[in-house]
A and B are shown apart, each in its own frame.
Chain A
Amino acid sequence: MRERGYLILLALGVAFLIVVNLPATVAHPLRAIVREGLAPYQAWAARALNHADRVVESVGDFDRLRTECDRLRLENESLRTRVRNGASLERRNVELSRLLGRAREAPGHALACEVIARDDGGGWWQSARLDGGVSSGLGNGQAVITADGLVGRTRDVSDGACDVLLLSDRGSRVAVRFVRSGVPGILTGGGLSPAGEPALGVLAPLPPLTIEYADRGADLRTNDLVVTSGLGGVFPPDLPVGMVRRIEFGPSRLYRRVELTPCADLTRLRYVLVLPPYNAARAAAAEPPREEAEP
């Protein structure tokens, strides 16, 4: 019995060493298996929580619910009309593009996904998990957006799920430009509060989204819209990213530091769109050169 115990301990020791030294070729499938295994339950739990959230919101306020229902009916009708008009405009657009002889790049289809979990298991990265993966045609490094603006990019894609590294993560870098002035910059995440709050931790207040090293002479104002520039080859150009909330000089006073409030509400993500992979080289070849604003 004692020998058996030692044998089990020895086997566990070997397993321990194997786990710690797992090569990437083995670790990735293992990670994928665990994610795939838990993804349906995470999706189920996320839906259950959403339902519970809705029930709690609606209980005790039936009048508001009825008014809301009537308003939604009207809005639904209005949206249906707009969709019909939109389809008509799309057809016209295609016809005009053909007439102009422009070779239109096949844009592919954006994939709608549901957010099944927020943040990674340890809270080290700002991320969200989606219910789409390789089986839905997703890959690493695709832009993820909501109707309001850019959310982040995909990474760690497995068969039926993938993670999104949010804009607010400290490791996130996005090439952006100011719409009004055309000034370019690199946007970095602050790490903790994705809602645009200035204080992200009790002991370490950090801004959520920052453009460091903005030209000190550039014409920048608060509430300026910032969009993706398309440089870097990950994000297509002109996706709304955020609005300028504060501009200040850096410690050296050689550059300015710009804080942004994200356009998309990163704290309440439920459904997102994953854009097809952006081919910067092809897009640049297909489009006429953009006229940059005068500095």
Chain B
Amino acid sequence: MMFTAAMTLLLLLAGLLQSLFPPLVWLGQAKAPVLMALATYYAIAHGRVAMLCVAVVAGLFQDSLSSLPMGFSTVCLSALGLAIQSQRGMWFYETTGTAVMLGFAGGALMTLAIYLLLLSGQEYAPAPAGWVAAKAFGAGFLGALITPAVWMLAAWMERRLDLRGKAEGKTLYGGA
């Protein structure tokens, strides 16, 4: 129960923060991918069920906050979460370095994936390739900055609520 409440609170906070962060005008209007950072945290620190729950809800949040068709972000976040979980313990560990790397890769790849989905659905006029590249880089850059902070905050909250032992995570971010 407390785990669900904490997850809901983190999702609300991430959605609000993402809507408030100003975009990087010089890098394709890229916005800080706070919801993506939270999804990667649940992918690295918790089981598949929790990760998919967060991916579905975070995706709905992201699409509702923008004009993206419903489901685009859910697909991307779920795929990202599954990819991270498949390599967890082999390539990805709950460390700051991994957070930076996943934040960068996740932000950039999600931007490119959403752009391709937008183009495939004819919802969006094709943008200049340079702009898309700048936007992907900007999202990756902001993801690399924001993801360690989101991981730290989420881990701190779960430790304070004594949820880490009960959850499926195997490692502790930021020390026990």
Residues on A lying within 8 angstroms of B by beta carbon are 5, 8-9, 12, 15-16, 19-22, 27, 30-31, 33-35, 38, 41-42, 45-46, 49, 117-127, 129, 155-156, 163, 170-171, 191-193, 200-204, 206
Residue B19 at the chain A interface, CB threshold 8 Å? yes
| Cα–Cα, bound, A45→B49 (Å) | 32
CB pair A19–B74 under 8 Å, yes or no, is yes
Partner of A192 from B15, B25, B60 at Cβ < 8 Å = B25
| Cα–Cα, bound, A89→B118 (Å) | 52
- Point out the residues of chain A lying under 8 angstroms from B73, CB to CB: 122
Interface string of B135-158 (1 = CB under 8 A from A): 100010000000000000000000
**Interface residues of A, dominant DSSP:** mixed
Interface string of B19-55 (1 = CB under 8 A from A): 1101101111111000000000000000011001100
Known: A31-B63, A129-B19, A201-B128. 8 other contacts (CB 8 A): A12-B52, A16-B56, A121-B18, A121-B19, A155-B67, A191-B29, A200-B131, A204-B128
Residues on B lying within 8 angstroms of A by beta carbon are 12, 15-16, 18-20, 22-23, 25-31, 48-49, 52-53, 56, 59-71, 73-75, 78, 114, 118, 124-125, 127-131, 133-135, 139
- Point out the residues of chain A lying under 8 angstroms from B75, CB to CB: 20
CB pair A41–B27 under 8 Å, yes or no, is no
- Point out the residues of chain A lying under 8 angstroms from B28, CB to CB: 123, 192, 201, 204
Partner of A19 from B12, B49, B59, B125 at Cβ < 8 Å = B59
Known: A12-B53, A203-B134. A124 touches B22 (CB 8 A): no
